[in-house]
Amino acid sequence: MLSDSARKGFERAPHRSLFRALGHTTEEMSRPLIGIAHAHSSIVPGHMHLNQLVDAVKAGIYMGGGVPADFGVIGVCDGIAMNHEGMKYSLVSRETIADSVEIMVRAHAFDALVLIPNCDKIVPGMLMAAARLNIPAIIISGGPMLAGRHHGQPTDLAKVFEAVGTVGAGKMDLDELEELEQNACPTCGSCAGMFTANSMNCLTESLGMALPGNGTIPAVYSKRLVLAKQTGMKIMELLYKDITPGKILTPGSLENALTVDMALGCSSNTLLHLAAIAHEAGLELQLERVNTISGRIPRLCHLSPAGPFHLEDLDAAGGVSAVMKELDRQNLLDRHCLTVTGRLVEDNLQGSAPADGNVIKTLESPYAPEGGLAILFGNLAPDGCVVKQSAVAPEMRRHRGPARIFDSEEEATQAILSGAIEPGDVMVIRYEGPKGGPGMREMLTPTAAIAGMGLDAKVALLTDGRFSGATRGASIGHISPEAMDGGVMALVEEDDEIEIDIPARLLTLRVDEAVLETRRQNWLQPPPKVTSGVLGRYARLVGSAARGAVFKEE
C-alpha cells in the first residue's frame, strides 16, 4: 500500500505517533488510508451540506475496511462572484484545486481517494487531480438544488439574473423582484438547472467516475446520503481491484461524455473542462470532433435555462442512466468502457429506466435533431469558439449585424441597461479571455439582462470570455485566439459587419483581409490588467481556451 511509506517499519515510529495523535488505533495502522477531498464551506449554497456527505462517505469506508481522512479545498460560488472582480478567480480556482488535492494526497501517502465537489470549477478541478494522481478514485457530488416556486411555476437562479434586465426595462417592479429573489433558491445544492455545475456532475457519471445517480439525485434527498455511503464502500473495492482513473478515463469514455453532453444540452463550459481533464489523462479533445458528435446525437432533454425542466425532473425520469440507455438503444455509446461500479457501461445500463418521452425524449422523437453544443470556426475564431445552440432562438441561428465593441463586461452591461443596444446588434466583449481577463469571466449578467429585456432573440453576444451555463440566447464564447493574444477579436471595430451561421458552423467578420492586416500592424497589445498575485501568475501561465485553458507546457 502507498500508505506503508508513512506508517510501516520501525523507522516510521514518529509518523505513527502522529497518527495516534489523530486517534488511530494499532488496528487502523494496517488498514488502507483513504483520503476524502471535499469543498465544504458556509459561503457556497452548493457546498454548505457537504460535511454530511463526508460523514456518510467515512461510514462507507469504515464498513469497507478502510480508514478515512478528510481534508478541504477551496470553492468559489460563481453566482456570488458574478459580475465583479470575484469572477476573475473562478476558473483560476480549478487549477488551484487540482494542485491542492495532488499536494495533500502525495504528502500524506493516501492509498485511494474520494472526491466530494458540487459546483462549477470544483468538479473539473477534482477530476483533473484524479487523472493526474492515477490512484483509485471516485466522485460523489453534493447534488442539485430543488427548483423554487414563483407564481405557481418552477424557477431558479437564472430567472433572478434575467429579472434584473426585466426591471431595467420597466417590465417588473422591485417588489416582484424581491419576491422572486426570496423563492428562487429554496434548498442547498448546485443551482437547479442544467448549468455548469450540474452539467459537470452529470458528465462525471457518464465518464464512469461516479456511481449512477450522482448527477441528478437532489441534495436534500436521503438517497444522496445512501449514495455517499455506497461510494465509501465502493472505493475500497476499487482499491482492492486496482481500478484507477487511467483505466476509466479513455478515448471511449471521453466520447461517451461528449455524447451525453449533446443529448442533455449541457453548459458550454463543459468543453473547457473536458479538454482540461483529457489533458491530465494524456488524451486530447479535438474541437472538430465535438461537431461530429453533435451532428449525430439528437438532443433528448430540454432543461433550464433553455427549457422548463429541472434536475429533479430528470432524476425522477431515470437520470443520466436513462439518457444513456436511450442512446445505447441505437449503439451510440461505447458499451465496453470500465466505470467505478467495477463493471462496464453495458452492465450498468441493464436495469436502467427507459426514456419517458417527456423529460427524456426518444431518439425517434427528440427535442432537436442535433446536440446541445456547436463549435464555430471562421476568420473571427480560427481556433474555434463554442455556442450552446440548444438555447438559441431559431431566428438567431443565422444572423448578420453591426458590431458593438466593449473592452470589458462592465462596459457591456452598462450599455445594455442604459438602452444603448438595439435589435440586430452583435455585441463584442473582448479582453476577457483566460489571459486578458485574466480568468475568463462568465458573462451571465449581460446575457441575463439581454434576456430579461426581451432581446435574446434579437441580439447576439460574442466574447473571448465565457458564458454561464445559465445563459440563453445567441451567446458565443471561448473565441480563440483571444484578443489579448492578438486574435482577430482585437481588430474588430464599431459597425463592422459580423455574420453568425450556426448551421454552417461559421463565425465571420465581414472585413477585407487587407484591411485587417493594416489594423493588425497598428494594434498595440494593452498592458496586463493584473501583474501580481495569483491572477498575475495565472495570466502569465495560462494557455488557449481552445485547449481547455490549462497551463502552457514549459
Q: Which residues, other chains included, contact 210 with Cβ-Cβ below 8 Å and sequence gap of 6+?
A: 138, 139, 140, 141, 201, 204, 231, 340
> How many Cβ atoms sit within 10 Å of the Cβ of residue 531?
12
Residue 52 class from Cβ within 10 Å (0-12 exposed, 13-18 middle, 19+ buried)?
middle
Label residue 84 left, alpha or beta by phi (over 0 means left) and psi (-120 to 50 means alpha). Answer: beta
What element of type H or E holds 270? Answer: helix 269-280
Q: For residue 153, what are the β-bridge partners?
A: 150
Query: Which strand (E) or helix (H) includes residue 476?
Result: strand 474-480
Q: Where are the alpha helices (DSSP H) in 281-399?
A: 287-296, 311-316, 319-328, 345-348
> Which residue out of 93, 141, 190, 468 is catalytically annotated?
468
Q: Are 278 and 284 in contact (CB under 8 A)?
A: yes
Catalytic-residue membership of 90: no
Long-range interactions of 410-419: CB distance < 8 A, separation 24+? 410/83, 412/443, 412/446, 412/461, 413/83, 413/445, 413/446, 413/449, 416/165, 416/168, 416/446, 416/449, 416/450, 416/453, 417/165, 417/168, 417/449
Angle at 478 between CA 375 and CA 43, to 5 degrees: 125
Name residues whose C-beta falls within 8 Å of residue 495's C-beta, 6 or more positions apart in sequence. Answer: 402, 403
How far apart (Å, rounded) are the C-alpha atoms in residues 142 and 198?
10
137 Cβ contact list (under 8 Å, min separation 6): 112, 113, 114, 115, 130, 209, 235, 238, 244, 245
Output the nine-digit C-alpha cell for 308.
422548463
End-to-end CA distance of the chain: 33
Helices (H) and strands (E) in the chain, counts: 21, 14
- What is the spatial distance between Cα 343 and Cα 462, in angstroms, rounded to a whole number? 43
Each as own residue / partner, the long-range contacts of residues 524-529 (CB below 8 Å, 24 or more positions apart, any chain) are 525/484, 525/486, 526/431, 526/484, 528/438, 529/431, 529/436, 529/437, 529/438
- φ and ψ of 38, to 5 deg: -135, 160
Whether 78 contacts 120, CB under 8 Å: yes
SS3 342: coil
Which residues are part of the catalytic machinery? Answer: 468
